[in-house]
Structure 1
């Protein structure tokens, strides 16, 4: 088992995961909406393919070109920071189209081949927000919680065919980058409903005031994904990063 397809590889967790598998001798199909944006190292074991997980024809083409897939890593996702009241319903649909429906579509695309071979692993990347009801992340959290529940039930269905399904739960990214992005969002006129702006400022200040060393790195996530893909004894839901591990214990 040494062929892995990873979605959302242009930056962050996906890019680091692709490198992690490459360093361990795997053949990697790294996918992203715009392959021209790839900064992955050139390797004869790497293929970079275009893929939009919300487009069925794009999924079919990428999976066809990838060939037999031993491991699927569903990493592509959309983040979101706003109150429920300030999130247009069309934006909610867009988030769920990528974070949940895109995951389902990718699973459906690779499962027939895995079933035929009676082997394979699917690793879906969730979020530590499933452990804590953090404000301003309600819609994003809902999409990741739904994806987590989906994976847990699918795992019981797929075990019949020798296929494993697991969830990796990254903690929060470094506070500096998150804070910079969030403050930029708040500064955009009309981003938050006016009534929520003061609350948003307090909430973001609290999120940024934690231990700057107690955050999740891309390496933490890549390592957890690799273990989920290769170790049958890994728990169904695997937290990645010190903060995610603490949150999973209710700390």
Structure 2
């Protein structure tokens, strides 16, 4: 039976991806900073582990406890929306620690077992905002664009060991807590800086007033991750969701 380890399973894409693999008979090692059985009730093949991707000891313990796996899905991430000038350097570092360095650290921890058995797949969850520049998202976009470039390069060096590495680019998800959490974090840290307040409000007003367009559902992302994990011919990066696919095609 194949085993997948997924980071960031407390909600959204990670939670749906865990369910998706469980439904297909895989053993799922679902990780969260604070494991909650109420989020993912006990099921055949399910293991819940504590993991903070910014903590090297936590990573080492979780990877050791997980044992042999076939696929690592790096999904854990945090969002952020603000102008560069309104983003403290400490916040920038925090975002990169999770979204970028956390992915690299997880891959380093798992690579020895993949290399030893000459098989394994890394699926790194990035974002469709890397396909189209948007205001107020420069820091978040940079943290994800780094993952795109990193994965593309590392995939070449890992191919010699029959290890695959690919990225999935989710679109705008309206049914997860991700964007709401990002805006709440921004407000907690003081909101938009005064010189950018009018500009930022105009951007948010346009977003609120815009007619509904295509968006991304968590199931779209779970299906894309499944394809990336199981299809050796899967393209990378792989957009997930109608809006992400439209952006990838120049829409």
Q: TM-score, normalised by structure 2?
A: 0.94
Q: CA deviation at 1:202?
A: 1.3
Task: Using the TM superposition, give the Cα deviation of residue 206 of structure 1 relative to its aligned residue in structure 2, in angstroms.
Answer: 2.1
- Kindly state the Cα deviation for residue 181 of structure 1 after the two structures are TM-superposed: 5.7
For the Cα contact (< 8 Å) 1:86–1:193, is it kept in 2? yes
Structure 2 equivalent of residue 206 of structure 1: 206
Using the alignment, how far apart are the partners of 1:33 and 1:188 within structure 2? 21
In the alignment, which residue of structure 1 is the partner of 2:27? 27
* CA shift in 2, pair 1:147/1:178, >3 Å: closer
Q: Provide the rounded CA distance (Å) in 2 between the counterparts of 1:175 and 1:60.
A: 33
Give unmatched runs, 5+ long, in structure 2: none
Contact 2:80-2:186 within 8 A present in 1 as well: no
Question: In structure 2, what is the equivalent of residue 73 of structure 1?
Answer: 73
Is the Cα contact below 8 Å between 2:79 and 2:179 reproduced in 1?
no
CA RMSD of aligned residues (A): 2.0
Tell me if structure 2 keeps the 8 A contact 1:179–1:208.
no
Alpha-carbon offset, residue 41 of structure 1: 2.9
Q: Distance in 2 between matches of 1:65 and 1:185?
A: 32
Alignment of 1:90 with 2:90, yes or no, is yes
1:5-16 maps to which residues of 2 (within 5 A)?
A: 5-16=5-16
Show CA shifts across 1:17-68 (max 9, x none).
0000000000000001000375113212000000000101000000000010
Partner of 1:142: 142
Alpha-carbon separation, structure 2, partners of 1:176 and 1:208 = 17
Aligned to 1:112: 112
Q: CA deviation at 1:182?
A: 6.8
Give me the whole-angstrom Cα distance separating, in 1, the residues matched to 2:228 and 2:184.
35
Unaligned regions of 5+ residues in structure 1, if any?
Answer: none
- Partner of 2:95, secondary structure, is helix
Q: What's 1:36 paired with? A: 36
- In 2: Cα distance, 1:154 partner to 1:196 partner: 38
Q: For the Cα contact (< 8 Å) 1:174–1:212, is it kept in 2?
A: no
Q: Aligned pairs, how many?
A: 251
Q: Distance in 2 between matches of 1:97 and 1:77?
A: 9
Compute the displacement of 1:77 (Å). 0.5
1:234 maps onto 2:247 in alignment: no
Alpha-carbon distance in structure 2 between the residues aligned to 1:201 and 1:160: 50
CA distance in 2, matches of 1:249, 1:87: 32
Whether contact under 8 Å (1:27, 1:46) holds in the other structure is: yes
The SS at the match of 2:36 is: helix
